[in-house]
A and B are shown apart, each in its own frame.
Chain A
């Protein structure tokens, strides 16, 4: 994934919606993503999480999860892997003001993840431009993995 992922967030800046263009309620473009064990473990290492549920298949099979899973917070990676390069969440200067997420079932290595996402609201507060966005991630069986809402301050 990361080999084909555009890491220069300036490159598609002109094609992205600014705060004025964002229409609350309008779906964002999303792309399906196959979650690999490698991507899960890379994320886990970045937060120092080496729990065997994410690394040890033999151990994971003995647990109620009956196999390797991803940690609940894997949506941090999924948010970028399931959206295209011109998505406004990549706009340089986007500041994350807060997030809330609910978890249903774990994502697993090999899952094909899809995202349904939209801005829900936009407003001006204390001279800052805010957008509230909602996001729901599904697996290949149309089961909800997690759903979340975020508050971002948009670049001027």
Chain B
């Protein structure tokens, strides 16, 4: 069995980087992801209503959360020989310029299968007020060494 996997315990936590969101970081993500949806750059457009939702200004790409969660997982997994295998996320509330967000993960399940070892993690991204802006589940593999 993989030694790194053996050392992990249910309830262990992983803390990701704090990320300060600004109009500039949102613009940089537009350029890097090629996602130029006006939700992320057009203040005039964002004064409108979106069904029952009103944003009152531009919002961060939901996928920035996804990228930060991935960064947290790979920073944790690369040094211990784990492989990031899956990430599922749901967005709970919009993130706006001025917010600071941080992902965390908690090991929920350890499971050995016929050919490998797996860990499932519960994920949450919180803003500076402690509000959950995104939640999800991830899965990492620890292959036999």
CB of A29 to closest CB in B, whole Å: 16
Segment from A15-23, A47-55, A114-122, A131-139 that makes contact with B: A47-55
CB of B45 to closest CB in A, whole Å: 7
A1–B117 alpha-carbon span in the complex (Å): 39
Segment from B5-13, B68-76, B106-114, B124-132 that makes contact with A: B68-76
- In the complex, chain B residues whose CB is within 8 Å of the CB of A9: 36-38
- Checking B31, B33, B88 against A98 with a beta-carbon cut-off of 8 angstroms, the contacting residue is B88
Identify which of A9, A73, A99, A155 gathers the most chain B CB atoms within 10 Å of its CB.
A73
The verdict on B51 contacting chain A, using a C-beta distance below 8 Å, is: yes
A: contact size bracket: 35 or more
The verdict on A76 contacting chain B, using a C-beta distance below 8 Å, is: yes
- In the complex, chain B residues whose CB is within 8 Å of the CB of A156: 51
A96–B92 alpha-carbon span in the complex (Å): 11
CB of A104 to closest CB in B, whole Å: 9
A9–B71 alpha-carbon span in the complex (Å): 28
CB of A51 to closest CB in B, whole Å: 7
Identify which of A2, A53, A64, A72 gathers the most chain B CB atoms within 10 Å of its CB.
A72
Q: Is the CB of A51 within 8 A of B63?
A: no
Q: Is the CB of B67 within 8 A of A47?
A: yes
The verdict on A141 contacting chain B, using a C-beta distance below 8 Å, is: no
Q: Is the CB of A100 within 8 A of B51?
A: no
The verdict on B89 contacting chain A, using a C-beta distance below 8 Å, is: yes
The verdict on A8 contacting chain B, using a C-beta distance below 8 Å, is: yes
A1–B36 alpha-carbon span in the complex (Å): 14
A79–B45 alpha-carbon span in the complex (Å): 24
Q: Is the CB of A72 within 8 A of B64?
A: no
The verdict on B84 contacting chain A, using a C-beta distance below 8 Å, is: yes
Taking A100-B87, A103-B86 as known contacts, 7 extra A-B pairs with beta carbons closer than 8 A to each other, sorted by chain A number, are: A7-B34, A45-B32, A47-B19, A76-B67, A99-B87, A100-B86, A103-B84
> Which 10 residue pairs are nearest across A and B when measured between Cβ atoms?
A100-B88, A80-B34, A47-B67, A46-B32, A73-B70, A98-B90, A96-B62, A43-B32, A7-B36, A49-B71
User: Can you sample 11 A-B contacts with CB below 8 Å?
Assistant: A42-B31, A42-B32, A46-B28, A48-B17, A49-B67, A53-B78, A71-B74, A72-B84, A80-B35, A99-B63, A103-B83
